[in-house]
Amino acid sequence: MKRFFYVFTMCVSLLAISGACSDDDQDENLLAPANAVANLTFTDADTDAQKIGGTLSWQLPSQENNIDGYVIYLSESNTSKGVKLGEVTKGTTSFTVPTGTQFNNYLLVVARNTSGESTNIASVAVTDLAEDVPPQKEPQTLGAFILNRGAYKANNASVSFYNLSEQVMISRVYQSTNQKGLGDSAEQALIYGSKIYITVTNSNRVTVIDETGAELDSIVPVINGEPQHPRCLAAWNGKVYVSYYYGHSVAVVDTASLKVEKTVAVGRYPEALAVAGGKLYVANSGGLDYPNYGSSVSVIDPNTFTVEKEIDVALNPTRLAVDSQGDVYVISMGNYGDVPNTLQRIDGATGQVTGMGRGSIFALVNDKLYVIYAQWGDPTVSYRKYDALTETVESENFITDGTTFNSISALNIDPIGGDIYIADAEDFVSSGTLYIFSPEGKLKTSEDTGGPDPSAILFLIR
C-alpha cells in the first residue's frame, strides 16, 4: 500500500439527549426547564390521507416556576424534535394542529424559558383518521454520493452519485448542475434533513446543496480578516457543527437560516466532530504542528456552547464515531513513524479511555464497527469488525475475497443492505475507484469515482 490516508474523517452521529442536569445551589432561572407535561392526547379530525388536524391536549407539570411556555413539534421520532408547529404560554393545556398539516409519527411538547428548551420531551403517537392511508414504505438505499477531495492544490474537488438501481456512476454532479467548480480540497460531507453540507477546506467554504446537486447557499467563515478553513461536520437538534481547522475552534450553524450563530475555541487544528449523550466531542489533532501533534478530545455542552472538559487520548486524534450507548470511538493517527495509528473507546458515562488496538479508518453502522488498519509504510492491511454493544470482535477479516487496494481513503456501510463500500484514492492524481462488497466481504462491482482522492461516501436513503 503506497499510502493510506490524506486527512479525512466521516463523523456523523445524531443522538437525542435524555434527562436533565440540576444543581440545587444554582439559580433555577438560569437553567432551561427540567419539567415536562404529561398525558398527551390527540385525535386526528382531518379525513384526508397523510394529513392531520385537531386538538393536542396535555396535563401541566406540578410546578411551572421555571417555565415561560411550551413549544409544539411534529416529528418522525418521539425523542428528537422535527418541524416546529408553534408555541403557547405557560398555563396553557392545548394546541390546535391546523387542518391539512402533513402527517408525521409523533407530536411533541417541550417546556421552554429564556435559557432554552427542556431536554425532557413529552410525546404522543399520531394516527391518521383517513382509512386509505398508504402503508409506511420501508426505507431503501437509492444510491451513494461520493465526495472527491481533488488532487493537491488542483482546485478540482467534485461530487459523484452512484445510482444503485441502474448501477451507474454519475460524475461531476455539482459542476453540471451549477456550471461552476466546487473548489479546492473537499474534506467532508454530511446529509442532514433535505440538505447536504460540504466542507471545502482550502477554498474556505461550507457549500450547501440539495439532492440534485443544486447549490442552496455557501458559508465563507472569516474572523478578524482571517479565513477559518472549515474541516469536519456533525449535526444534532436542528444545528450543524463545523470544525474550523485554522481557526482552532468549532462553529454552530442554524440549518434554517444557514447562518453561523457562534464559535467556541478548542484545541489545535480540530478535525472530527461527533454528538453523544447530548455532548459535542471534538478531536484536536494538532495536525500542522508537526511533530507536536495534539492528544485531546474537547467535550462541548451544545446548550451553553462552552467547553466542559478535555479528555486525553493517543497522539493526533482525527476520527470519531458514536454507538447507540453513547460511547465514543477515536482513531489517532500517531506521528506516521514510531507512534502507530491507534483505536480507542471513550466511555460515554465515565469518560474513561480504553485502547482497542490499531486502526486507521473506520465506519460505525447499526452498532457494528468496521476498522481498517493500514500503517504508513507497512504493506499489511487488516479488516476487523467489532460488535460495539458487547465490545467484542465479530470478524478478523470482513473483506474475504483477497481484494487489494493502493490507498484506501474512505469507508462506509450501507445501513439498509449491509454492503461494504471502500474508496481507493489510487495515485491521488487520477480518478479513484469505488469498490462495493457484499456483507460477506465478496466483491460485487467497482466503479471510477469521477475525481481524484475520494474522501467521503454518503448514502441517500428514502
Domain with residue 163: its CATH number is 2.130.10.10
**Quick check: is 6 in a domain?**
no
Same domain, 101 and 200: no
Mean pLDDT (whole number) for 299-328 = 97
Task: Say if residue 25's pLDDT is above 60.
Answer: no
CB burial of residue 214 (10 Å; 0-12, 13-18, 19+): exposed
d(CA 352, CA 440) in angstroms, rounded, equals 34
Backbone angles phi, psi at 201, to 5 degrees: -60, -55
Task: Say if residue 9's pLDDT is above 80.
Answer: no
The amino acid present at 454, given as its one-letter code, is: P
Mean pLDDT (whole number) for 145-167 = 97
C-alpha cell read off for 137: 414504505
Same domain, 367 and 278: yes
Task: Say if residue 156's pLDDT is above 70.
Answer: yes
Same domain, 181 and 262: yes
**Quick check: is 274 in a domain?**
yes
pLDDT at 32: 86
pLDDT at 137: 80
Mean pLDDT (whole number) for 261-268 = 98
Same domain, 37 and 183: no
- The alpha carbon torsion through 166, 170, 173, 175 (nearest 10 deg) reads -150
Same domain, 121 and 248: no
**Quick check: is 130 in a domain?**
no
Cβ 279 vs Cβ 264: under 8 Å: no
pLDDT interval class at 30 (50, 70, 90): low
pLDDT at 4: 38
Of 30-44, 95-109, 240-254, 283-297, the least confident: 30-44
pLDDT at 135: 65
pLDDT at 128: 84
Same domain, 115 and 154: no
Q: How many domains does the chain have?
A: 2
Nearest to 458 by CA among 8, 5, 4, 1: 8
Give the domain-ending residue among 95, 125, 155: 125
d(CA 76, CA 83) in angstroms, rounded, equals 9
Which range marks the domain in which residue 47 is found?
Answer: 28-125
Sheet holding 408-413, edge to edge: 408-413, 420-424, 431-437, 443-452
Same domain, 205 and 237: yes
**Quick check: is 323 in a domain?**
yes
Same domain, 98 and 168: no
Q: What is the pLDDT of residues 117-140, one digit of tens each?
A: 999 999 999 988 875 556 678 899
Cβ 385 vs Cβ 369: under 8 Å: yes
pLDDT at 198: 98
Of 2-16, 69-83, 191-205, 383-397, the least confident: 2-16
Q: What is the pLDDT of residues 384-432, one digit of tens each?
A: 999 999 999 999 999 999 999 999 999 999 999 999 999 999 999 999 9
DSSP letters spanning 43-112: -----STTEEEEEEEEEPPS--TT--EEEEEEESSSSS--EEEEEEETT--EEEEEEEEEP-SEEEEEEE
Task: Say if residue 170's pLDDT is above 90.
Answer: yes
Give the domain-ending residue among 125, 149, 176: 125
Cβ 252 vs Cβ 260: under 8 Å: yes
Task: Say if residue 13's pLDDT is above 50.
Answer: no
Which whole-number Å values give the CA distances from 225 to 117, 307, 414, in the listed order?
A: 34, 25, 42
CB burial of residue 132 (10 Å; 0-12, 13-18, 19+): exposed
**Quick check: is 33 in a domain?**
yes
d(CA 347, CA 350) in angstroms, rounded, equals 6
**Average pLDDT over all residues of the chain:** 92
CATH number at residue 46: 2.60.40.10
pLDDT at 132: 53
pLDDT at 19: 38
**Quick check: is 17 in a domain?**
no
Mean pLDDT (whole number) for 239-254 = 97
Q: What is the pLDDT of residues 49-107, one digit of tens each?
A: 889 999 999 999 989 999 999 999 999 999 889 999 999 999 999 999 999 999 999 99
Mean pLDDT (whole number) for 150-158 = 97
Same domain, 161 and 212: yes
- The alpha carbon torsion through 272, 278, 279, 280 (nearest 10 deg) reads 30
Same domain, 193 and 151: yes
Same domain, 100 and 152: no
**Quick check: is 221 in a domain?**
yes
**Quick check: is 12 in a domain?**
no
- Contact residues for 445 (Cβ-Cβ < 8 A; gap 6+): 167, 435, 436
Give the domain-ending residue among 66, 96, 125: 125
Specify the DSSP class assigned to residue 131: T
Task: Say if residue 313's pLDDT is above 70.
Answer: yes
pLDDT at 16: 35
Same domain, 91 and 184: no
Q: What is the pTM of this model?
A: 0.74
